[in-house]
Amino acid sequence: MALDPGYLEYPKRARGMDHDLYGYSNLFERAPVAWPEGKTVAVPIVVSLEWFPITPEDKPFRAPGHMQTAYPDFRHYTSREYGTRVGLYRLLDALAAVGAKVSVATNAAIAERYPSVVRDIVAAGHEIVAHSTDMNGTIATGLDEADERALIATALDTLERVAGTRPTAWASIARSQSWNTPRLLVEAGVATMLDWINDELPFTMTTPAGAIVNLPLNHELSDRQIITVQQHSAESYADQIRDAYAWLEGEAVRFGGRMLPLQVTPYILGLPYRIGAFETLLAWLADQPGTWFAGVSEITAITPR
């Protein structure tokens, strides 16, 4: 029996993904990207500074890293709080030692509960990236558009009040979006998002409200994925980052500037038996002539539109 011809009719069938946010582009066929001062590998470091309510919301889904056992789950709750009380400051010291300015993806609840922490981050010269309201503030298809707009506004307003400047970059929880998220972010004045991981360089999306740059923050090289999920050591994590850097450095010779984003978590890498490996990794990266430590907004500011 022949297939009904209607099955072959698909109005959004096109090369690449089935949307019109951007056109398909092969990483190895683009015009070369040139980073400042002849640097070859941009290294944006994104610190995930998150507040997990002790009772997780399971709709639309439970955020990764959330409470797991019967409530009150003080074991996981206090582990996450350790990151804010102790681990973050070890990371800040390690970054200061190599002069790296980074981006800190921060829940608005952190600003409300620990305003001095946010002010310390800003005082050190780091960028605040809006990371929803708290780790129950997830976005997914089915979330009412007005509710999503309010969630974005609440996060931006709260962080601006405490940090002193309004964030221009956004990281969704678990990189999850609705169909409306890119447009709503543009409407809220956001210039950069970190949610789509389908590339290795920033690229521009076009929405009905205007353009927004996406910086791919691939979770496969995050400390949570390598150390917590895959159960590798901190030393193995550092080795994998060095391997990735070496590969990208080689590609940069042929294709132009490359990017190696690192996503790190205070309650994971900030532990006393892991921070040394991270400090050694940062020192190694700083010693590479091609390394450009930069915040996400610095990188996307020079992304071709």
CA distance 186 to 206: 10
Strands 45-49 and 262-264: parallel
Residue-level pLDDT at 12: 65
Task: Give φ, ψ of 279 to 5 degrees.
Answer: -60, -40
pLDDT in tens, 196-226: 999 999 999 999 999 999 999 999 999 999 9
Q: Is residue 20 part of a domain?
A: no
pLDDT in tens, 241-279: 999 999 999 999 999 999 999 999 999 999 999 999 999
Task: Give φ, ψ of 212 to 5 degrees.
Answer: -145, 140
- Write out the DSSP string of 89-154: HHHHHHHHHHT---EEEE-HHHHHH-HHHHHHHHHTTPEEEE--SSTT----TTS-HHHHHHHHHH
In sequence order, which residues have a C-beta less than 8 Å from that of residue 71 and are 6 or more positions away?
Answer: 54, 55
CB 280 within 8 A of CB 222: no
Q: Is residue 73 part of a domain?
A: yes
CA distance 65 to 76: 9
CB 239 within 8 A of CB 254: no
**What angle, 0 to 180 degrees and rounded to 10, lies between the N-to-C axes of helices 88-98 and 275-287?**
20
Strand partners, 212: 205
Q: Is the pTM of this model over 0.75?
A: yes
Residue-level pLDDT at 295: 96
Q: Is residue 15 part of a domain?
A: no
Write out residues in the chain with pLDDT < 50, as ranges: none
CB 129 within 8 A of CB 194: yes
Residue-level pLDDT at 186: 98
Q: Is residue 209 part of a domain?
A: yes
Q: Work out the angle at residue 209's Cα, subtended by the Cα atoms of residues 203 and 211, and round it to the nearest 5 degrees.
A: 20
- Residues spanned by the domain of 69: 34-300
CATH code, domain with 144: 3.20.20.370
Three-state secondary structure of 224-278? HHHHHHCCCCHHHHHHHHHHHHHHHHHHHHHHCCEECCEEECHHHHCCCCCHHHH
Task: Give φ, ψ of 170 to 5 degrees.
Answer: -135, 135
Helix, strand or coil, per DSSP, at residue 155? helix
Q: Is residue 14 part of a domain?
A: no
CA distance 150 to 22: 26
Q: Is residue 5 part of a domain?
A: no
Task: Give φ, ψ of 67 to 5 degrees.
Answer: -60, 145
Which token pair is 205? 């999306």
CA distance 222 to 115: 26
Q: Which residues of 115-127 are buried (b: 16+ CB within 10 A; e: fewer)?
A: eebbeebbeeebb
Question: Considering its fold, how many domains does the chain have in total?
Answer: 1
Q: Is residue 22 part of a domain?
A: no
Residue matched to tokens 């001062």: 37
Q: Is residue 72 part of a domain?
A: yes
